[in-house]
Amino acid sequence: MSEPGLPVVPQGIEELDVIGVRHGAFGASGGGDTSGFGGLVEPIVMPAPARRPFGGWFDEVSDELELALQAAGLHAADAIEKVVIYRDEITYHVRRDHLVSFATLLRDEPGLRFEMCLGVSGVHYPGDIGRELHAVYHFLSITHNRRIRVEVSVPEGDAVIPSLYAVYPTCDWHERETWDFFGIVFDGHPALTRIMMPDDWPGHPQRKDYPLGGIPVEYKGGTIPPPDQRRSYN
Amino acid sequence: MSTDNVTFTSAGPDDSDSYAGSYDTTEGRIYNVSGGDWGTIAGAPEGEHDRIVVNMGPQHPSTHGVLRLILEIDGETVTEARAGIGYLHTGIEKNMEFRSWVQGVTFVTRMDYLTPMFNETAYCLAVEKALGVTDQIPERASVIRVMMMELNRISSHLVALATGGMELGALTAMEFGFRERELVLDIFEMVSGLRMNSAYIRPGGVAQDLPADGAQTIRDTIPLLRKRLKDTADLLVDNAIWMGRTVDIGYLDLAGCMAIGVTGPVLRSTGLPHDLRKSQPYCGYENYEFDVITKTTCDVYGRFLIRIEEMEQSLRIVEQALDMLQPGPVMIEDKKIAWPAQLSIGSDGQGNSPEHIREIMSESMEALIHHFKLVTEGFRVPAGQVYAAVESPKGELGCHIVSSGGTRPYRVHFRDPSFTNLQAVAAMSEGSMISDIIAAVASIDPVMGGVDR
């Protein structure tokens, strides 16, 4: 075991994870603001990174991880960007270069033994400049009855993450789905093709900037705008 | 995926026959046949039809909805199997990003349409976790959730047996299965107003309390259900034909299940007693006595037996839930989250209860404002992400939600067990007969609404 209090989190990162700014009480802009709420400005802040001690078994897993990473010739601080604990769930933000070795340790180390990968899905944060696309993996250890989450962030212009197919074959379809919906390329996947949308579909529908269609209504030329342009709460 | 030979729809140069044609590729001449015109290329030169790729589905009756199996066959033997999905993709996850948190229930209930209660519970548990109100869910609401889920497990397993039986030619099993399922659906209709897609379980509790005679009706149904489940089991358990079609078929061992991420009855048929109701209890499952059924045969027959015995365990849980049912609220106390109205049936049909209407229309302006704000705007969920999972009849049904602090989900993703388990088709059926693929797929019990979402 490493010394308690040894930071998994590297020093000097911003405490606040701001992913965007919310304006006003209603989503749509451009119309007349009769409510007076239009001037509201509020940052959207995701839960801040956690510091040791994490409490519960989170420390055990983190210690095991650090030791295992060390044994594999890696620095914990290099592989793990930050650790977030929220609602009794632990999230390791892992740098993409180290994802495969990180996952291999999760699977193989007796003290970790996350036998089951529950797949990957994406989240698109257009406001998180430089790390717009997040791939989120969930792992379950049946042996120790624990769950962890691993998150990898990549910029939109270089959305490539190494595939976990070789470590966890279950990621096969999950990675295809994430490619289909978010356009994240999983490098090393044997056949990264679309899985839900037709093969010739343009764009990646789950991205926040994907254009949505409106439904034309035949009533005095009126139309209903697409859902993302309607006046709505946010 | 080697689908390049099968995705062409135009017949190419030789298209005199609209159902069959051929064209040249760098790999040789490719013949396409659709409809019933196999005979038109039966006379193809010897040695040229050495690789036959057959599309089974997406409209084949025994592929469980719109599943497309792409089979490379050598005689009756399947040499390569691939599953093509996506034909029932409805964009539920994307749609939810433009509706309030409560409205999300109406979407998720339609994913795996045979397990609506599980979809709703997984989603609501995730929302409640994100809100940090898991401890505040009333006891009665949790008991009702458990009861509904276990009844739903029975109806889902019954459909698995019914359709699985039908696909293997056991039509009586199909009739029995669907008939018994009606008993459960009648209960759902009585409790929620809808047989399927009921949107009954809501963030904070359930939409409304059981009707006055609800608990008694459920209690009265159990003996009949138990008797008929036994009839269904007796029909098949020692049936030589059924065993001939299922024993040692669709083999997938523990290592395979772990690698592919398979959960549910398929995983338990390898002998591993993994059940989230035991290992990570939710909704108070730790207070119920039941057994996790396992078999060690790793085959279709073992999964069938597991489903049969799990239904009996579900009845046990429902009985205990009925005993635990105490009067009390079915919706969280927090007025900023709880749906303001309760439904009732009046002379003009179902609607908000007269007491509530009286309160908001003639007694309290603030109550009206509150009702309006909560129904149109909804509640806000603090920014962050959570994951909640339940043991659905098919395996681990996980719900990952991300909130940006708004009144609508920022991102919702469902880890549907059918989606993951369906990846095992190739491992279960390559090298087997075509007819055994049907049994293997039936034992996975995929529901395409859940797979494609």
Confidence band of A1 (pLDDT split at 50, 70, 90): very low
Would you call A233 and B407 a contact, using CB atoms and an 8 Å cutoff?
yes
Instruction: Report, as an integer, the average pLDDT of A6-31.
Output: 59
Q: What is the pLDDT of residues B187-227, one digit of tens each?
A: 999 998 889 888 899 999 998 889 889 899 999 999 999 99
Q: Could you write out the three-class secondary structure of chain B?
A: CCCCCCCCCCCCCECCCCCEEEEEECCEEEEEECCCCHHHHCCCCCCCCCCEEEEECCCCCCCCCCCEEEEEEECCEEEEEEEECCCCCCCHHHHHCCCCCCCHHHHHCCCCCCCHHHHHHHHHHHHHHHHCCHHHCCHHHHHHHHHHHHHHHHHHHHHHHHHHHHHCCCHHHHHHHHHHHHHHHHHHHHHHCCCCCCCCEECCEECCCCCCCHHHHHHHHHHHHHHHHHHHHHHHCCCHHHHHHHCCCCCCCHHHHHHHCCCCHHHHCCCCCCCHHHHCCCCCHHHCCCCCCCCCCCCHHHHHHHHHHHHHHHHHHHHHHHHHCCCCCCECCCCCCCCCCCEEEECCEEEECHHHHHHHHHHCHHHHHHHHHHHHHCCCCCCEEEEEEEEECCEEEEEEEEECCCCCCCEEEEECHHHHHHHHHHHHHCCCEHHHHHHHHHHHCCCHHHHHC
Q: Does residue A57 have a pLDDT over 70? A: yes
Q: Distance, in angstroms, between A66 CA and closest chain B CA?
A: 24
> Which residues on chain A are in Cβ contact (under 8 Å) with B400?
121, 136, 138
Would you call A172 and B272 a contact, using CB atoms and an 8 Å cutoff?
no
Would you call A115 and B258 a contact, using CB atoms and an 8 Å cutoff?
yes
Whole-model pTM? 0.87
Q: Maximum distance among all alpha carbons in chain B?
A: 87
Q: Is B278 on the interface with A (CB under 8 A)?
A: no
Q: Which B residues in the span 124-143 are in contact with A, Cβ-Cβ below 8 Å?
A: 129-130, 132
How high does pLDDT run on average in chain A? 83
ipTM: 0.86
* Positions of chain B with pLDDT under 50: 1-13
Report how far Cα B371 is from the mean position of its chain's Cα atoms: 33
Closest CB from A45, A115, A138 relative to B400: A138
Q: Which of A90-94, A112-116, B351-355 has the lowest mean pLDDT?
A: B351-355
